[in-house]
């Protein structure tokens, strides 16, 4: 029996990417999306070849489209380095597309591991996923730094438009060294805080925020104060109603608590802490290939993607005609997340349910022991079989068809 495809009211923004994930992207669409959904999408090709052709204008257009339409799904993309400059014959070392997206959407990145029964976290007491919320603006990523070449005085100077002036000695160098200046903005910290509080309400999970305000008495203290103020003024009652809590704690203490916890909460981190801790969390839960990522702007725009990169090593094997067993889970979950969210925003129950069914079909496949190579050696208490990406996706499709009661 042919099924009537699920209809969409509003398009999602589709951002294609590079290398192995670009190959997976095509397979996922062909096998798991377009047979079931009458896909409406605004397509932007962020593959490096097209970014070069448009001098990266395509990245800005795609980001604006997400701001306009509200939901996007993105494939992993290459961030050019010296080697990529020559490999792709680039005229410019383009900025990371994710950086451009974050700057335009002013968002916070939430990363959550996909957990399955047969893959036990390294930390035995973790029972539920831990979501890391990373402030995606400023600090060390926007720092100015240089090497101090000789003896001399380093100063911190601020010249205000209305006449405030600060000048303070950082260090009287008696020998060469290094120096770095970094900043953040109240507006960005407020957006970060609001995105985190809203996300916690959505997920109905506690929110933790950690920084180092005992050492950084102005910088990190400002983060702590802004979070507290926004919580008191805008979210305290909503949190009480939802039965969840918010608290601040020192990053050292947070790490100890995270390790002892059962999971099932959101851990908000400053930019660098979030970068580093999300790798720790994903590895401890099993695999970077099982980590999803969503950028949420303070006004409720969503961009879904996998946390991993373009899996270059597998792509080169693929180009040589070898069969690859790259894990498509995080990329599939980017699609399911985006379609479910689109459904939710449009009051389209069928589309919303489709996203959940797609995830269910993935879990059914993994729980039956069918998985990609990266997961096989992690699986316990199950007879696991490694299949190629293509086979894996085809088996998910079969489960999905059955769940949707189709022949
Ligand atoms: P990567 O693509 O995440 O891959 C690193 C390694 O992790 C792989 O070689 C593979 O290990 C394993 N891995 C990652 N994802 C996997 C998957 N889905 N299935 C199976 N194994 C997986 O990181 P990278 O090699 O450092 O970066 C490659 C390119 O991706 C770079 O050009 C970088 O700029 C870009 N990148 C993009 C994003 C993004 O768009 N958000 C994020 C990070 C990196 P084995 O080789 O051992 O199998
Ligand atoms: Mg990192």
Task: Decide if 327 contacts 375 (C-beta within 8 A).
Answer: yes
Alpha-carbon 88 to chain mean position: 26
CA dihedral for 199, 201, 202, 207, sign (positive or negative): positive
74, 308, 315, best to mutate for ligand 1 pocket (most atoms within 8 Å of CB)? 308
Question: What residue ranges line ligand 1, CB within 6 angstroms?
Answer: 76-79, 98, 288-289, 305, 308-313, 326-327, 374
On whether the 1-116+303-407 domain is CATH 3.40.50.720, my answer is no
Distance 312 CA to ligand 1 centre (A): 6
Torsions phi, psi of 383, nearest 5? -85, 105
Ligand nearest to the CA of 375: 1
Taking every pair of C-alpha atoms in the chain, what is the biggest distance, in angstroms? 81
Asked, colleague to colleague, whether 1-116+303-407 and 120-142+185-285 share their fold, the answer is yes
Spatial CB neighbours of 339, under 8 Å, sequence gap ≥ 6: 12, 33, 37, 351, 352, 354, 355, 358
Which residue, judged by its Cα, is nearest atom 30 of ligand 1?
309
Residue 373, classified by CB atoms within 10 Å of its CB into exposed (0-12), middle (13-18) or buried (19+), is: middle
Ligand nearest to the CA of 279: 2
Spatial CB neighbours of 229, under 8 Å, sequence gap ≥ 6: none
Distance CA 290, CA 329 (A): 6
Which residue, judged by its Cα, is nearest atom 42 of ligand 1?
309
CATH of the structural domain 120-142+185-285, one choice from 3.40.1160.10, 3.50.50.100, 3.20.20.140, 3.40.718.10 = 3.40.718.10
Which residue, judged by its Cα, is nearest atom 24 of ligand 1?
309
Ligand nearest to the CA of 271: 2
CA dihedral for 278, 281, 283, 288, sign (positive or negative): negative
Closest atom of ligand 1 relative to the 326 alpha carbon:
19
Tens place of pLDDT for every residue, the chain, 407 residues? 457 899 999 999 999 999 999 999 999 999 999 999 999 999 999 999 999 999 999 999 999 999 999 999 999 999 999 999 999 999 999 999 998 998 898 889 999 999 998 888 999 999 999 999 999 888 998 889 999 999 999 999 999 999 999 999 999 999 999 999 999 999 999 999 999 999 999 999 999 999 999 999 999 999 999 999 999 999 999 999 999 999 999 999 999 999 999 999 999 999 999 989 988 998 898 888 999 999 998 888 999 999 999 999 999 999 999 999 999 999 999 999 999 999 999 999 999 999 999 999 999 999 999 999 999 988 988 999 999 999 999 999 999 999 888 64
Which residue, judged by its Cα, is nearest atom 46 of ligand 1?
313
Distance 282 CA to ligand 1 centre (A): 13
Domain limits, the chain: 1-116+303-407, 120-142+185-285, 144-181
Which is nearest to 191 in space by CA: 300, 284, 283? 300
pLDDT of residue 66: 98
Cα end-to-end distance, the chain, whole Å: 6
């Amino acid at each position: 029996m042919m099924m009537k495809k699920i209809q969409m009211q509003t398009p999602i923004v589709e951002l294609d990417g590079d290398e192995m994930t670009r190959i997976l992207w095509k397979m996922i669409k062909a096998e798991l999306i377009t047979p079931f959904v009458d896909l409406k999408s605004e397509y932007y090709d962020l593959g490096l070849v097209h970014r070069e052709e448009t001098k990266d204008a395509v990245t800005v257009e795609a980001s604006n489209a997400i701001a306009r339409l509200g939901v996007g799904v993105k494939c992993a993309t290459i961030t050019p380095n010296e080697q990529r400059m020559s490999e792709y014959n680039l005229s410019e070392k383009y900025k990371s597309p994710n950086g451009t997206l974050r700057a335009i959407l002013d968002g916070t990145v939430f990363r959550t591991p996909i957990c399955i029964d047969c893959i036990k976290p390294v930390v035995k007491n973790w029972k539920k996923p831990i979501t890391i919320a990373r402030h995606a603006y400023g600090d060390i990523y926007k720092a100015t730094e240089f090497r101090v070449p000789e003896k001399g005085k380093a100063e911190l100077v601020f010249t205000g438009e209305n006449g405030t002036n600060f000048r303070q000695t950082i260090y009287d160098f008696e020998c060469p060294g290094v120096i770095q200046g970094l900043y953040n903005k109240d507006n960005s910290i407020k957006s970060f805080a609001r995105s985190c509080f809203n996300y916690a309400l959505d997920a109905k999970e506690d929110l933790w925020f950690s920084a180092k305000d005992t050492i950084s008495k102005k910088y990190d203290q400002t983060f702590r104060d802004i979070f507290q103020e926004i919580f008191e003024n805008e979210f305290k009652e909503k949190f009480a109603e939802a039965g969840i809590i918010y608290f601040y704690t020192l990053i050292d203490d947070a790490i100890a608590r995270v390790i002892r916890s059962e999971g099932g909460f959101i851990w908000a981190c400053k930019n660098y802490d979030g970068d580093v801790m999300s790798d720790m969390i994903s590895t401890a839960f099993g695999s970077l290939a099982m980590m999803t990522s969503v950028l949420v702007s303070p006004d409720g725009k969503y961009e879904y993607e996998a946390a991993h990169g373009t899996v270059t090593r597998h792509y080169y094997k693929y180009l040589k005609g070898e069969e690859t067993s790259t894990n498509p889970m995080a990329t599939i979950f980017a699609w399911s997340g985006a379609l479910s969210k689109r459904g939710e925003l449009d009051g389209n129950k069928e589309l919303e349910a489709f996203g959940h069914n797609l995830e269910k079909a993935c879990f059914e496949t993994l729980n039956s022991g069918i998985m990609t190579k990266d997961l096989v050696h992690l699986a316990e208490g199950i007879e696991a079989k490694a299949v190629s990406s293509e086979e894996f996706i085809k088996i998910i499709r079969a489960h999905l068809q059955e769940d949707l009661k189709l022949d």
